[in-house]
Structure 1
Amino acid sequence: MTFPTKDQQIELEAAAFRRLVSHLRNRPDVQNIDLMNLAGFCRNCLSNWYLDAARESGLDLSKDESREIVYGMPYEEWKASHQREASNDQQQAFEKNRPKE
């Protein structure tokens, strides 16, 4: 097996990230709370990780800008168009599995 070089690894990780973001943009029916309950992260987590990486690199990116990068539109617009109110079952599952800070 041939492992990628460091530069290739960065390119592959970037491609995987772009594909994940594209997939999430194409699946607005999958709610963030569902992602949190099943995988322990959501679109907001992803945008926060992006923001952390940008700031670590010295880029002056805002939370709203990082969310727009992940959502493909302003966050408030995405919420108005796609976000549904969480059911009691979803909220209970979230509270039970909520990440501990």
Structure 2
Amino acid sequence: MSSEFEEIKELFKNIKGIKLVQTAPYIIEIMNEEVSKAKGIRFLQSKLKIKNEDIVITGDNDYEMLSQFDNTFAIKTGSKLALSAANKTIDEVSEIANYIKY
């Protein structure tokens, strides 16, 4: 993460109930601290009774989501954090088919 992002986070540190996420070099998302893609997927998993091994996750800047599931793929142009969280690194989403067992 950039030092500029850390400076911006510092400006918001006293605002309760929010979180900041840097999703690209010049994009910072500000959201409710309870919101995340991972929580949304877990909600659907519970409601639809989907087994963990049947969930496949891909992303390029989604560290939180990639770090919480087993079958995860980061796009090679993604953030360092996302790449560190994923189980596999791929060039494009279509490559996931090479890893899925039907």
TM-score (norm. length: structure 2): 0.27
Larger relative helix fraction:
1
TM-score, structure 1 as length reference:
0.27
The answer to which structure has the higher strand fraction is 2
